[in-house]
Amino acid sequence: MYRIFAYCGSRNPQSRTLQAIVLIQQWLSSLQDSIDTQISWTICTPKDLRILPSDGTAWEFSTGVDRQELLGIDDSGRLKTMIEHCDYLILGSPTYGHNVSGDMKIVMDRLCYWSHLFYLSGKPGMPLVSASTNGYLKVGDMLERFMDSLGIVRDPTAYNTYGMPFENNEAQGAARHILAALTSHEASMPNGYQEELFRSYKRSYIRRNEQNAEYRYWKKHRMFDCDSLAEYFASLPQVEH
């Protein structure tokens, strides 16, 4: 079973971001006959999951523990589990004032400590951005950099704007990318930006004390022993479906 998880950062009942995700889902199900493995989808919006904003303590970076998740006062535990366990991650956001939506930013803030760990290393994914007319490239860039920092191997960003509506052609293309990523037997490769981040984090974290959660994670996963993120990706076990 391949599991796809999509988070759509829009509360709009007529969300064009959500419509684009559903169109990709429909196209992927029409391509599904070409493979033996079933594909399951979970699509969530801020109306399905209550995610509190960061408490601002940055405790999770140094301890590895997200206090709000631990207290069970929101659905962040559920969200993280769905993201961790999926085989393909779609993050879709509307453009609000040339930025991601507030709901998407909250999710990004809450997952930010994962980015210092390349926690989703090798997981394939796709950013998706909706807008009426302007500011969407900046939003695409934000989602791309965020997904890069999590270690995700990205497919091209999908855009749904008035000038470039996301229709059948685009959805079919996106579905083909997803299918190829899910069924690929080739080694996942990080991009240049991810390699640069890896080098800079490695230089910094190796000097930390042994109590620090980032140091401990890097040590446990033998990331300090890797000369590159590509080498780390190659050391990861293959996911069974």
Ligand X SMILES: Cc1cc2nc3c(=O)[nH]c(=O)nc-3n(C[C@H](O)[C@H](O)[C@H](O)COP(=O)(O)O)c2cc1C
Binding site for ligand X (CB under 6 A): 10, 12, 15-18, 94-98, 130-135
- Least Å distance between CB 7 and ligand X? 12
Residue with tokens 């769905």: 82
Q: Considering beta carbons, is residue 76 or 95 the nearer one to ligand X? A: 95
Q: Considering beta carbons, is residue 136 or 201 the nearer one to ligand X? A: 136
Nearest to 179 by CA among 124, 127, 140: 124
Contact 16, 99 (CB under 8 A): no
Q: Considering beta carbons, is residue 77 or 135 the nearer one to ligand X? A: 135
Q: Considering beta carbons, is residue 15 or 115 the nearer one to ligand X? A: 15
- Least Å distance between CB 42 and ligand X? 18
Q: Considering beta carbons, is residue 68 or 95 the nearer one to ligand X? A: 95
- Least Å distance between CB 207 and ligand X? 41
Q: Considering beta carbons, is residue 39 or 100 the nearer one to ligand X? A: 100
As given in the structure block, the two tokens for residue 186 are 């080739």
Cβ-count burial of 10 within 10 angstroms (0-12 exposed, 13-18 middle, 19+ buried)? Answer: buried
Q: Which residue is nearest to ligand X (CB)?
A: 94
- Least Å distance between CB 83 and ligand X? 20
- Least Å distance between CB 158 and ligand X? 12
- Least Å distance between CB 225 and ligand X? 43
Q: Residue type at 158? A: A
Query: Dihedral, CA atoms, 69, 42, 166, 170, nearest 10 degrees?
Result: 120
As given in the structure block, the two tokens for residue 113 are 């400590």
Helix/strand/coil (H, E, C) string of 91-159? EEEECECCECCHHHHHHHHHHHHHHCCCCCCCCEEEEEEECCCCCHHHHHHHHHHHHHHCCCEECCCEE
